[in-house]
Amino acid sequence: MRIAILPTPEDIAVVAADRIQSLLERKPSAVLGLATGSTPLPLYDELTKRYEAGEISFADTQSFNLDEYVGLPEDHPEGYANFIHRFLVDRVDFPKGAAHGPNVWTGDNDQAAADYDKAIRDAGGIDLQILGIGADGHIGFNEPGGSFASRTHVDVLTEQTRRDNARFFDGDITKVPTHCITQGLGTIMESGEALLIATGAGKAEAVRQLVEGAISARWPATILQMHPNAIVLLDEPAAQGLELADFYREVWAKHQA
């Protein structure tokens, strides 16, 4: 795991966008895994800015969202398919139909989850997976207690996650869905690179567990310690609980030199 502690979310966005840009220059047909939520928004703004400046193109790229709520109407603005179109896909040059998400509107969510996992494999797997982290340690919507080997599946959201996400639903937890389809931890672990971004003090405990805690289903993100190519980009408040922060800074600086 490589860890960068950077001054601002915008600095993180630049580092993350550099990695995506260099991947797409090497492999224009790369498959991207996309996270939703607040954390990646500065990154999506940075990618849009680079697209508008002619520095990056998604014309041969496919994307797979990490997850989707179950129970929202298909046109709900906070549904993750709509969210990702609004904040990235429709702002750049992804071809029509190249941005995928779990289809929670077929009437058979278990089958939809299995189909989604297969679609990721059929696309050749995810080259670079962007991840956020929940305050309870989830990645995707893999909540505590889930299997490290899980594939894309239907899951139940914790009350903490629903409370955290109520800000997208008029602050009303009763409007936040209770279920989702999420890529499994096993699915996420097959990505070529896992690029996790965490910002803000609210993520400090989850980040401490992710980087320095024991690998445990209590903190699902800790499985990334076993990923051969995981990069964790943090701002100072998210990194405040790390015992070895100065060492990580030194290692990151040496890698950049």
Q: Which is catalytic among the residues 100, 138, 153, 227?
A: 138
In the bound state with ligand F6R, the residue whose beta carbon lies nearer, of 48 and 57, is 48
Write the DSSP string, 132-159: ---TTS-BTTB-TT--TT--SEEEE--H
Over its C-alpha atoms, the chain yields an Rg (Å, rounded) of 17
**Residues 31/61, Cβ–Cβ less than 8 Å:** yes
Contact with ligand F6R (CB under 6 A): which of 33, 134, 137, 177?
A: 134
* The amino acid at 185: L
CA dist., res. 115 & res. 120, Å (int): 9
Task: Tell me whether residue 136 is one of the annotated catalytic residues.
Answer: yes
Stretch that binds ligand F6R, among 10-18, 102-110, 136-144, 150-158 (CB under 6 A): 136-144
- Residue 209 touches ligand F6R, criterion: CB under 6 A: no
- Residue 64 touches ligand F6R, criterion: CB under 6 A: no
- Cβ-based neighbours of 33, under 8 Å, separated by 6 or more: 63, 64, 65, 66, 126, 128, 129, 130, 131, 183, 188, 191
Contact with ligand F6R (CB under 6 A): which of 4, 24, 66, 104?
A: 66
Q: Which is catalytic among the residues 68, 136, 164, 193?
A: 136
- Residue 177 touches ligand F6R, criterion: CB under 6 A: no
Task: Tell me whether residue 227 is one of the annotated catalytic residues.
Answer: no
Stretch that binds ligand F6R, among 8-16, 91-99, 137-145, 248-256 (CB under 6 A): 137-145
Residue 148, class by beta-carbon neighbours within 10 Å (0-12 exposed, 13-18 middle, 19+ buried)?
Answer: middle
* Minimum gap (Å) between residue 64 Cβ and ligand F6R: 11
- Residue 127 touches ligand F6R, criterion: CB under 6 A: no
- Residue 35 touches ligand F6R, criterion: CB under 6 A: yes
Task: Tell me whether residue 138 is one of the annotated catalytic residues.
Answer: yes
* Minimum gap (Å) between residue 242 Cβ and ligand F6R: 19
Helices (H), the chain: 9-26, 41-52, 80-87, 109-122, 159-165, 185-189, 204-212, 236-239, 245-256
- Residue 39 touches ligand F6R, criterion: CB under 6 A: yes
Q: List residues near ligand F6R by CB under 6 A.
A: 35-39, 66-67, 80, 132-134, 138-141
Q: Which residues are catalytic?
A: 67, 136, 138, 143
